[in-house]
Amino acid sequence: MLDKITDRKKEEIASLIVPETHLIEGTKRSLAESLRASSYPLGLIAEVKKASPSKGVILEDFHPTAIAEEYEKLQVSGISVLTDRDFFQGAPEYLTSIRRSVKTPILRKDFIIDPVQVLEADRIGADAILLIAAILDPEQLKELYLQAEELGMEALVEVHSEEELEQVLRVLTPGLIGVNNRDLRTFETDLTISKRLAPMMPESSLFVSESGVHTKADADYLKNHGARGLLIGEGFMKSSDRRQFLESLFGDES
**Does 154 participate in catalysis according to the annotation?**
no
Q: Report the b/e string of 173-207 with b at 16+ CB within 10 A.
A: ebbbbbbbbbbbeeeebebebbbebbeebeeebbb
**Does 180 participate in catalysis according to the annotation?**
yes
**Does 158 participate in catalysis according to the annotation?**
yes
Residue in 109, 167, 108 with CA at minimum distance from that of residue 133: 167
Active-site entry in 9, 30, 47, 52: 47
**Does 150 participate in catalysis according to the annotation?**
no
Active-site entry in 9, 50, 109, 195: 109
Active-site entry in 34, 120, 211, 234: 211
Q: How far, in Å, CA of 109 to CA of 232, rounded?
A: 12
**Does 34 participate in catalysis according to the annotation?**
no
Give the helix, strand, coil percentages of the chain, each rounded to 5. Answer: 45, 20, 40
Active-site entry in 158, 181, 194, 209: 158
Q: How far, in Å, CA of 44 to CA of 47, rounded?
A: 10
Contact between residue 182 and residue 209 where contact means Cβ atoms under 8 Å apart: no
Q: How far, in Å, CA of 70 to CA of 1, rounded?
A: 32
Active-site entry in 120, 154, 164, 210: 210
Active-site entry in 34, 52, 80, 180: 180
Active-site entry in 49, 50, 142, 195: 49
Q: What residues are annotated to the active site?
A: 47, 49, 109, 158, 180, 210-211
